[in-house]
């Protein structure tokens, strides 16, 4: 890992308009609200939070799969939100995605060889001989044999399919991989193999990852740093070991208290109420409706980041 940033996200906001408002009227879903993040070359940055916190929308916005309302996403020196088609096409070769569900992400009608050749045929002018060489190299790198290439997706287990999806993400030699819940659809016995594969790719090939997951034990094993997201905001960010050993934000403490561990003595923190709707964000600190330490000012004032390498948004610390 270097100190150089591969991606810088500044003040990013993403909104949706739906027709599910009161009496069928339109409503605005504030999915991502003023996110600032930096991802260093060669690191795994995890974004964690409960379902509906905006982490998958953030990931899609980074890859241009969701339009941003405002802000900047800078990849190397390129502001992706102000780039032309040619620049975006170049970026898309350098940035690939591994999806949650390896059953849905592979075309069942295509042989594995064609699934892996497709991105190269679309995005490069390599000869068929060179394409085949790359495909064979990447399937091996993902831990499968060349014999797999002649088969169809349904002939593989979930773990093997996720390896194929990873091989497909690697064929264009990306610098950046966005992995959205890459193991949550797999059996527990298979999860460790895929997690180890991602770690090897990061360590041996200096790949940079944005890992989206709700699974804190995956983060503890895999991520260099972790950002905790709540209602579209990053409320705490720091090195994984610092966040796990000394979490600061009351929400992070609650998330970590729910991780099952042998010999764990700390009491599980049960938060009151459900996650508020992103269509109707609370004023002040967005966590104030569920926070055990809520103070009067939390209801009206919005806390800003405190700290340098370990940052938290909470009035308990400023």
What is the Cβ-side half-sphere exposure of residue 78, based on CA atoms within 13 angstroms?
15
The answer to whether 9 and 173 are in contact (CB under 8 A) is: no
* Residue in this structure with the two tokens 């459900």, named with its chain if needed: 274
Q: Which of 35/167 has CB closer to ligand SF4?
A: 35
Report the residue number, 164 or 314, with the smaller CB distance to ligand SF4: 314
CA nearest 71: which of 144, 8, 16?
Answer: 8
Nearer to ligand SF4 among residue 112 and residue 231 (C-beta): 231
Residue 17 in the binding site for ligand SF4 (CB under 6 A) = no
Within 10 angstroms of residue 224's Cβ, the number of other Cβ atoms is 18
CB of 318 to ligand SF4, least distance (A): 9
Instruction: Return the H-helix or E-strand segment holding 135.
Output: helix 128-141
Structure tokens at 165: 């999806």
For the chain, the distance separating the N- and C-terminal CA atoms, rounded to the nearest angstrom, is 31
| 3-class secondary-structure state, position 213 | strand
Rounded to the nearest whole angstrom, what is the least distance from the CB of residue 119 to ligand SF4 in the complex?
Answer: 43
The Cα 124–Cα 115 span in angstroms is 15
Residues between 246 and 275 with contacts to ligand SF4, criterion CB under 6 A: 249-250
Q: Does 231 bind ligand SF4 (CB under 6 A)?
A: no
Q: Which stretch binds ligand SF4 (CB under 6 A): 106-114, 165-173, 264-272, 295-303?
A: 295-303
* Interacting residue with ligand SF4 among 287, 304, 307, 311 (CB under 6 A): 287
- List beta partners, residue 209: 44, 177
Question: Is the Cβ of residue 174 or residue 303 nearer to ligand SF4 in the bound state?
Answer: 303
Size of the site for ligand SF4 (CB under 6 A): 14
- Those residues whose C-beta lies under 8 Å from the C-beta of residue 181, and which sit 6 or more positions away, are 56, 100, 212, 213, 214, 215
Q: How far is the CB of 46 from ligand SF4 (least distance, A)?
A: 21
Closer residue to ligand SF4 in complex, CB, 63/298: 298
Tell me if 315 contacts ligand SF4 by CB under 6 A.
yes
- Which stretch in 86-94, 104-112, 213-221, 289-297 sits in contact with ligand SF4 by CB under 6 A? 289-297
- Could you list the residues that contact ligand SF4 (CB under 6 A)? 249-250, 285, 287-288, 291, 293-295, 298, 303, 314-316
């Amino acid at each position: 890992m270097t100190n150089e940033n591969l991606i810088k996200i500044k003040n990013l906001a993403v909104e949706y308009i739906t027709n599910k408002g009161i009496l069928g009227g339109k409503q605005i879903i504030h999915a991502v609200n003023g996110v600032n993040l930096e991802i260093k070359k060669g690191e795994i940055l995890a974004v964690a939070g409960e379902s509906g916190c905006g982490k998958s929308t953030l990931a899609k916005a980074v890859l241009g799969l969701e339009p941003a309302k405002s802000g900047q996403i800078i990849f190397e020196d390129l502001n992706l939100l102000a780039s032309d088609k040619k620049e975006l096409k170049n970026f898309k070769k350098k940035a690939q995605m591994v999806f949650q569900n390896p059953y849905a992400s592979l075309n069942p009608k295509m042989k594995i060889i064609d699934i892996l050749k497709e991105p190269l045929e679309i995005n490069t002018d390599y000869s068929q001989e060179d394409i085949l060489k790359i495909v064979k190299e990447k399937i091996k790198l993902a831990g499968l044999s060349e014999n797999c290439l002649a088969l169809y997706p349904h002939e593989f287990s979930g773990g093997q399919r996720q390896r194929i999806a990873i091989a497909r993400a690697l064929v264009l030699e990306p610098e950046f991989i966005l992995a959205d819940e890459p193991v949550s659809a797999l059996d527990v016995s298979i999860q460790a193999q895929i997690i180890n594969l991602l770690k090897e790719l990061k360590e041996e090939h200096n790949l940079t990852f944005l890992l989206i997951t709700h699974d804190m034990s995956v983060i503890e094993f895999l991520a260099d740093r972790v950002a905790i997201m709540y209602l579209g905001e990053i409320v705490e960010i720091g090195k994984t070991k610092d966040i796990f050993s000394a979490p600061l934000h009351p929400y992070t403490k609650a998330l970590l208290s729910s991780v099952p561990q042998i010999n764990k003595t700390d009491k599980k923190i049960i938060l009151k109420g459900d996650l508020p709707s992103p269509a109707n964000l609370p004023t002040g600190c967005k966590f104030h409706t569920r926070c055990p330490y809520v103070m009067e000012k939390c209801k009206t004032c919005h806390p800003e980041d405190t700290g340098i390498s370990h940052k938290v948004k909470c009035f308990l610390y400023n």
